[in-house]
Amino acid sequence: MPEEVIDLKTGVWRWIFIGCIIWLCLAPPVYAGYAGETSYDDGNAAAAGEVVPPLTVISNREELARFINENQLNGLSVTESRTEITGCRPNGELVKLPLVLNQETLLGLQEHRIYSYPARNFPWTWVILLALVLVGATALIVHHLARREQRQEPGTPAGASGYQFSTYSHKKELKNNTLITFSQVAGLEEAKEELQEILLFLTDAEKFHRLGAKMPRGVILYGPPGTGKTLLARALAGEAQASFFPVSGSEFLEKYVGVGASRIRGLFENARRSPPSIIFIDEIDAVGRKRSDDDRSNEEKDRTLNQLLVEMDGFNCSSTVVVIGATNRLDMLDKALLRPGRFDRHIAIDTPTMKERLEILRLHTRNKPLSGVNLETVAQRTPGLTGADLANLCNEAAIIAARGGKSLIESQELERAMDRITAGMERKAHVLSEQEKRTIAFHEGGHALVTSLLGHETVSRVSILPRGKALGFVLQTPDSDRFILSRQDLIQQILSLLGGRAAEETVIGQVSTGAKNDLERATDIATRMVTELGMGGLGLSNCSHLLGSYQVPLAVHQAVEEIVDDCYRQALSLVRANQDKLTRLAETLMVRETLTGKEIGELLGTCSG
């Protein structure tokens, strides 16, 4: 429980308790000053041994009138119920009138100045009852407010005490706050164009309402992690100057029944109170996963999803609330969530192209001092990296330069940062024997040799320094972004992967365990060619579903083995034809440990394929 909750909770009850104590302490003095000396207590006086004056009882109104006319009454004290009057005569005798007096008689007594204000006993019973009522009412109000906060705020822990005020609320970023704009998002031009329609609805909804157009209810952004889905949602809110409510799909999942649905209702209520607003649900597949068809369909997750569906259907045409969901598993979302009328727009966010990578690199290096760095070359060597990876690359280069005491970031810092991101951290404590070092050098040299001979990709870097789980690595980059691969492209990838094992067998005379990962990747490519792409001699039918069965058909095994074996024979042929070049490359690699693409090209420039 946060510290603010404890202070507020104890403060409320502390003041309630102090107020009751003060009231009970001040009541007796007030009563004593109020009652004065007009009350009489004959029984107590007699019990104390005091001399009690004689008592005269006036039993009817005639006697009362006679006493009044004869001036035999000094003062009277009338009780609140007017059923008893006590007073005294001039000689000190007490007078008691057990009569029910009417208003006329009381006015007559006042005219003769023999009637004083009534003496009243202090109502202790009523005071205590009132204090209990106040305490109970305050407790009910505190309990109601705490439960209300708990229903509206998705972050409040389920099962927490109801007698508390929670300071957690939906993370709301108001207009003109820390939101960004589209100008601060590099690349993703197609996604920005798709979101322009939502932006127009949020900024000028009346323009569309006049034509009978309805505002889109929701947008799904799907793609690999780190491609900028959250960044786009924040930029849209910044462009529209809208309130931004970012939440995670896991925030609505609790084991307590009804908690997730309650949090969904509270989120949408808050968004409707501050239009225009954008609700961003990151990892929406956590709450929007497909509902099961068996008896478990009444689980809490399904109730939460049902509430989300109801809330999105509950928008009216004039509501300026848009829901944006982000996921990298679009296939896992429920169909009812993806239908038109709920999430109307599905926008794919893919890894950036070379042009977009260049824009991202320029964005993340604009506040970093560079020296001799060609960002176009860096963008060309980083295919497949997302925007988050490129931001991390620039940051790692700055850290490496600062750690080395430099004031500028040079190309070697970017290369070291790229090695760390792609291959892992360098393991300097891992000492290799000369035989192991020689085997790794020929293995990595074999990869570089075969790749250079085929020419389908460029070898940018080769290293035999242990990094991460790898004892060495070869960095290969395509000459341009590729979106479609032919059968020959896939065969060349398998040849490059098998070049290391072919080099070990050709030069060293035996193979090692270093080719384990290469064989796994080569087999995976060949399996996809056979079962999914119709490139393996089994016809055009897609039989990828057979891979999940208990026994994979023998024909699939034979087709995959045929492709891999044929590629390995070709790799052996290429390595043996250029063994002298391989030896020169491996020996140079053993001395320098790391070679750049230019140095590799100089060593292998005379090779023939």
Task: Tell me which residues are annotated as active site.
Answer: 444
Q: What percent of the chain has pLDDT over 70?
A: 71
Sign of the Cα pseudo-torsion (425, 426, 432, 434, in order): positive
Mean local confidence (pLDDT), 228-233: 87
Instruction: Select the more confidently predicted residue: 594 or 313.
Output: 594
**Residue entry with tokens 């291959």:** 423
* Separation between Cα atoms, residue 206 and residue 243, nearest integer Å: 19
What residue type is 324 in one-letter code?
A: I
Pick the CATH number of 354-423 from 1.10.8.60, 3.40.50.970, 1.10.10.10, 3.40.50.720: 1.10.8.60
Contact 323, 337 (CB under 8 A): no
Running DSSP on this structure, what letter comes out for residue 325? E
* CATH 3.40.50.300 domain range(s) in the chain: 182-348
Alpha helices in 247-291 (DSSP H): 259-273, 285-288
Give the pLDDT of residue 207.
79
CATH number of 435-604: 1.20.210.10, 3.40.1000.10, 1.20.58.760, 3.40.1360.10?
1.20.58.760
State the DSSP code for 508: I
CATH 3.30.720.210 segments of the chain = 42-116
Using an 8 Å Cβ cutoff, are 337 and 308 in contact?
A: yes
Q: How many residues does the chain have?
A: 609
Pick from 319, 312, 311, 302: nearest CA to 341 = 312
**Model confidence, pTM:** 0.64
Supply the DSSP string of 536-566, one letter for each residue: SSS-S---GGGGGSSS--HHHHHHHHHHHHH
CATH 1.20.58.760 domain position(s) in the chain? 435-604
Query: 365-374 burial by CB neighbour count: b if 16+ within 10 A, else e?
Result: beeeebeebe
Query: pLDDT tens digit string along 303-340?
Result: 788 888 888 776 555 567 888 999 888 888 888 888 88
The class (CATH top level) of 182-348 is alpha beta
d(CA 138, CA 98): 44
Residue at token pair 């005091």: 50
Tens digits of residue pLDDT in 53-111: 566 677 677 777 777 777 666 666 655 445 566 766 666 677 777 666 666 666 766 66
**Alpha helices per DSSP H over 76-123:** 103-111
Q: Residue 216, preceding bond cis, omega within 30 degrees? A: no
> SS3 for 116?
strand
Q: Domain 42-116, what fold?
A: 3.30.720
Rounded to 10 degrees, what is the CA torsion of 186, 190, 192, 196? 160
* Greatest mean pLDDT among 65-79, 197-211, 581-595: 581-595
Residue 428 is encoded by which pair of tokens? 């300097």
Q: How far apart are CA 494 and CA 518, in angstroms?
A: 9
Report how far apart, in Å, the C-alpha atoms of 603 and of each of 15, 449, 452, 505, 600 are. 85, 10, 11, 22, 5
| CATH 1.10.8.60-classified regions of the chain | 354-423
Span 495-550, pLDDT tens digits: 999 999 999 999 988 888 888 889 999 999 999 998 888 888 777 877 777 776 66
Q: How far apart are CA 551 and CA 278, in angstroms?
A: 49
pLDDT of residue 84: 62
Q: How far apart are CA 608 and CA 489, in angstroms?
A: 20
Strands 55-57 and 94-97: parallel
Asked if the model's pLDDT at residue 414 lies above 80, the reply is yes
Structure tokens at 511: 């193979």
